[in-house]
Amino acid sequence: MSARVAILISGSGSNMVALADSMTGDHPARPCLVLSNVPGAAGLARAAERGIPTATVDHRPFRGDRAAFEDALQAELDRATPDIVCLAGFMRVLTPAFVARWQGRMLNIHPSLLPLYPGLDTHARALAAGDAEHGCTVHEVTAVLDHGPILGQARLRVLPQDTAQSLATRVLAQEHRLYPAVLRRFAMGERGRIDIA
Ligand code: GRF
């Protein structure tokens, strides 16, 4: 019986595509829902093209009432009955109460080598710090933003000519390799960390 995976997005969904396209053949999981907080997010069409059920819960009408927004998210997830939830470019901060419902079953990909640079603007911060290495991290989601147990990291050398944009592009390519690799292991019950170059 395949594990059911819900993927939460806010934009282009390139990580969602990488995850969805990896879940074939003998992969122990299959996508069951792509859920966006942004109506018309490009990733929704990419999911629909793949025959994956989609839903939208626009956060704006909730006017900052995070609990009410998350109750609406939960209602969509209850309908899809996922075993695993993957945050993939999902740009809303989740409350500890919501995370507690999914702790141990929710993953996120973050574009830095955590614990370095939690939060935003990670590429510019790595450049400003003069870091020789940069990359991305897949971690379990816990109540503290971008601080859960690390399940995998992908590293790359920062090049002298790199800009925040060129770095973001190269890190994104690494995300598309790392996230599927971690999800496959996670769906098989493996929790050991992997590192890819
Ligand atoms: C990217 O910046 C990625 O680093 C982060 O979310 C953003 C959008 O990713 N994880 P996606 O193309 O929507 O997956």
pLDDT tens by residue, 62-91: 998 999 999 999 999 999 999 999 999 999
pLDDT tens by residue, 113-139: 999 999 999 999 999 999 999 999 999
Ligand 1 atom closest to the Cα of residue 88 is 14
Active site residues: 110
> Helix %, strand %, coil % for the chain, to 5?
40, 25, 40
Within 103-143, where are the H helices? 122-129
**Structural domains in the chain, sorted by start:** 1-102 (3.40.50.170), 109-139+148-197 (3.40.50.170)
Whose Cα sits closest to atom 13 in ligand 1? 13
Phi-psi sector, 87: left (phi>0), alpha (psi -120 to 50), beta: beta
pLDDT tens by residue, 21-50: 999 999 999 999 999 999 999 999 999 999
Ligand 1 atom closest to the Cα of residue 171 is 4
Q: Which helix (H) or strand (E) holds 109?
A: strand 106-110
Does the pTM surpass 0.95? The reply is yes
Ligand 1 atom closest to the Cα of residue 136 is 4
pLDDT at residue 181 greater than cutoff 90: yes
Q: What is the pLDDT of residue 1?
A: 82
Kindly give the distance from the C-alpha atom of residue 176 to the centroid of ligand 1, in angstroms, as a whole number. 10
Counting ligand 1 atoms within 8 A of each CB, the residue from 7, 9, 14, 177 with the most, and so the one to mutate, is 14
Burial of 160 (0-12, 13-18, 19+ CB in 10 A): exposed
Kindly give the distance from the C-alpha atom of residue 89 to the centroid of ligand 1, in angstroms, as a whole number. 4
pLDDT at residue 197 greater than cutoff 90: no
CA–CA–CA angle 153, 159, 161 (5° rounding): 140
* Count of helices and strands (H, E) across the chain: 6, 8
